[in-house]
A and B are shown apart, each in its own frame.
Chain A
Amino acid sequence: MTNYLNYASVTKKVTLAIIGGFLMIFLLLHAGINLCMLRNDGGEWFRAAAHFMGTNVIIKVFEYILFAAFIVHILLAIVLQIQNWRARGPVGYKVPNKSATRPASKFMIYTGLLVLIFLGIHMMNFYFVKKGLVEGRYLVELKDVDKIDQAVLEQNQMQIVALFQDTEANPANAYGIKPVADNLTKDQLALFGENFTAYEPDFYNMAIELFSNTAYALIYLVLIIALCFHLRHAFGSAFQTLGWNHPKYTPFIEGFGLFYAILIGLMFGIIPVWFLLF
């Protein structure tokens, strides 16, 4: 990192912009998956998407790149910001600057830090569950039942079948057996035996539980709005940093940046709003 501090300001900025662009594409993908939650299918689509994201090899590689991207973006942003604060010199202005600036550009570090808080909460609630660091809810697919140890299966058969029982009346399913046992606590999961690994975190039910908490939904919403402001400036700024400024296209890029920020805000924000309202 000390070496990196010596890179030219423009090099740092260009790195920040490229990574920011990558993160912006990722956000679209993530928001798209979240929207599956709102489909009234008991979480089928969402689960399929989460399963794909959790198991696909390419996505797993992508996950590491994503982590590195976030870390580098945040570290670089903080380094640049500290240099920028110091650049004002020992004495600041008495009258705050009144120059007309591009919208949202003045508080990028603050919106960024709010996004960072969001990331922290998000990791605690979801990612760490996947990594087994935090307890959450889990699901097991019916087709994986034969991976249970024979001895365990014989011992706990009744309880395991109960977990797959469809308690909500479902006329389409004559046997009353669900394709997945979901919303399992850690204790329920223990019924499948110590060596059973074919379970997945049940993000769908975990998310529903979190959003059912009004305070959580509101905080989520506020942090998403901070993200919107970050993106509002970030989108156009990244183009400028990469040298793409053109009298004809720049106004379009700026407009598209606004559209993108609002779109991301709506895609993420509609979920807590949905839970607050219904």
Chain B
Amino acid sequence: MDFTLKIWRQAGPKVKGKFETYPIKGISPDCSFLEMIDILNESLVAKGVEPVCFDHDCREGICGMCSLYINGHPHGPDSQITTCQLHMRKFQDGDTIWIEPWRSAAFPVIKDLVVDRQAFDKIVQAGGYISATTGGVPDANAIPISKKNADTAMDAAACIGCGACVAACKNASAMLFVSAKVSHFAHLPQGKIEAAKRVQAMVKKMDELGFGNCTNTGACEAECPKGIKISHIAKLNREFICAKLG
């Protein structure tokens, strides 16, 4: 398959960037999107051109490191999939593919397609944990949890912190990410203890870092590779209202 790639190139955080055009030929339909960029980079290196920087790690859809805003979709056109799990067969031969970094005031570009997502770490540091002393491994069923709550908490825990929700949102809001963390803990007895403090601290940090305000557009839910639902955002709102009311 042949493609025309339009890739955002930016030498550093403070430098002005621009789109570069790279034609690429003979790509297998079974090639993953990141492998396709690897192939491009090899050819760029051969030509003595600086390769395109992009984030990746596990390449199996579990770490949340890969990103890329592809043709207007974070993680590309396929649903519930990370960029590393996206395959070139999802495109048409001859397509022009626009590749941009996540755009958010809170995720500044470091280089090319790589953005700094430490803002998410800061939100988690503000309250996305439980204060428990670690000890021996506890018995799995020592604390009874209803099936419904266990399932909901598990769904929320699937968030890999990739930031696609922020990238997709017209408000660059981090509510889906934050709500996944809040909801995950709030559905479990261990997390309930600090629930009121947690939700307020995490929302405060999120606002401070310059993420936008959620207007319930649902773009995040549509693009989340892990299928996190905006019902978790409603849960966050409930937790927040209850925390404020006492």
Task: Return the chain B residue nearest A233 by Cβ.
Answer: B216
Given A89-B108, A92-B103, the answer on whether A14 and B237 have CB atoms closer than 8 Å is yes
CA distance A116 to B243 in the complex (A): 34
Tell me if B129 counts as interface (CB < 8 A to partner A). Answer: no
Tell me if A125 counts as interface (CB < 8 A to partner B). Answer: no
Q: Are A240 and B213 touching (Cβ within 8 A)? A: no
CB-CB under 8 A from B207, the residues of chain A are 8-9
Q: Of the listed stretches A27-35, A94-102, A209-217, A260-268, name the one at the interface; the rest are far from the partner chain.
A: A94-102
Given A93-B72, A99-B223, A240-B230, the answer on whether A10 and B203 have CB atoms closer than 8 Å is yes
Task: Return the chain A residue nearest B204 by Cβ.
Answer: A8
Tell me if A242 counts as interface (CB < 8 A to partner B). Answer: yes
CB-CB under 8 A from A105, the residues of chain B are 215-218
Q: Are B241 and A101 touching (Cβ within 8 A)? A: no
Partner of B171, one of A87, A98, A237, A250: A87
Q: Are B100 and A99 touching (Cβ within 8 A)? A: no
CB-CB under 8 A from A101, the residues of chain B are 170, 217-219, 222
Q: Are A89 and B222 touching (Cβ within 8 A)? A: no
From 75 to 108 in chain A, residues with beta carbon under 8 angstroms from any chain B beta carbon are 80, 83-84, 86-102, 105-106, 108
CB-CB under 8 A from B9, the residues of chain A are none
Q: Are B234 and A244 touching (Cβ within 8 A)? A: yes
Given A84-B212, A87-B173, the answer on whether A240 and B217 have CB atoms closer than 8 Å is no
Q: Are B171 and A93 touching (Cβ within 8 A)? A: no
Task: Return the chain A residue nearest B212 by Cβ.
Answer: A87
From 167 to 225 in chain B, residues with beta carbon under 8 angstroms from any chain A beta carbon are 168, 170-173, 200, 203-204, 206-207, 210-219, 222-223
Tell me if A11 counts as interface (CB < 8 A to partner B). Answer: yes
CA distance A100 to B214 in the complex (A): 16
CA distance A77 to B77 in the complex (A): 32
A161 to chain B, nearest CB (A): 60
Tell me if B73 counts as interface (CB < 8 A to partner A). Answer: yes
Task: Return the chain B residue nearest A88 by Cβ.
Answer: B172
From 144 to 193 in chain A, residues with beta carbon under 8 angstroms from any chain B beta carbon are none
Given A8-B203, A11-B244, A101-B219, the answer on whether A84 and B168 have CB atoms closer than 8 Å is no
Tell me if B19 counts as interface (CB < 8 A to partner A). Answer: yes
Task: Return the chain A residue nearest B101 by Cβ.
Answer: A91
CB-CB under 8 A from B104, the residues of chain A are 87-89
Q: Are B240 and A10 touching (Cβ within 8 A)? A: yes
From 70 to 106 in chain B, residues with beta carbon under 8 angstroms from any chain A beta carbon are 71-74, 98, 100, 103-106
Tell me if B235 counts as interface (CB < 8 A to partner A). Answer: yes
Among B203, B216, B237: residue with most chain A CB under 10 A: B216
Given A10-B237, A95-B98, A245-B231, the answer on whether A237 and B71 have CB atoms closer than 8 Å is no
Tell me if B17 counts as interface (CB < 8 A to partner A). Answer: yes
Main secondary structure of the interface of B (DSSP, over half): mixed
A190 to chain B, nearest CB (A): 52
Tell me if B120 counts as interface (CB < 8 A to partner A). Answer: no
Tell me if A243 counts as interface (CB < 8 A to partner B). Answer: yes
Q: Are A240 and B108 touching (Cβ within 8 A)? A: no
CB-CB under 8 A from B72, the residues of chain A are 93, 95-99
CB-CB under 8 A from A99, the residues of chain B are 72-74, 168, 219, 222-223
Tell me if B107 counts as interface (CB < 8 A to partner A). Answer: yes
Q: Are A89 and B172 touching (Cβ within 8 A)? A: yes
Partner of B103, one of A91, A247, A250: A91
CB-CB under 8 A from B33, the residues of chain A are none
CB-CB under 8 A from B218, the residues of chain A are 100-102, 105
Task: Return the chain B residue nearest A14 by Cβ.
Answer: B241
CA distance A100 to B103 in the complex (A): 18
CA distance A245 to B179 in the complex (A): 13
Tell me if B238 counts as interface (CB < 8 A to partner A). Answer: yes
Can you offer 5 A-B residue contacts whose CB atoms are under 8 A?
A83-B213, A87-B172, A89-B107, A91-B17, A95-B100
Q: Which A residues have a C-beta under 8 Å from some C-beta of B? A: 8-14, 80, 83-84, 86-102, 105-106, 108, 233, 236-237, 240-247, 250
The 8 closest A-B pairs by CB, nearest first: A245-B234, A243-B238, A87-B212, A98-B72, A84-B171, A99-B219, A87-B172, A89-B105
Question: A8-B200, A236-B216, A243-B236 provided; 12 other pairs, C-beta below 8 A?
Answer: A9-B206, A14-B241, A80-B213, A87-B212, A89-B172, A93-B69, A97-B73, A97-B168, A101-B170, A101-B217, A237-B216, A240-B234
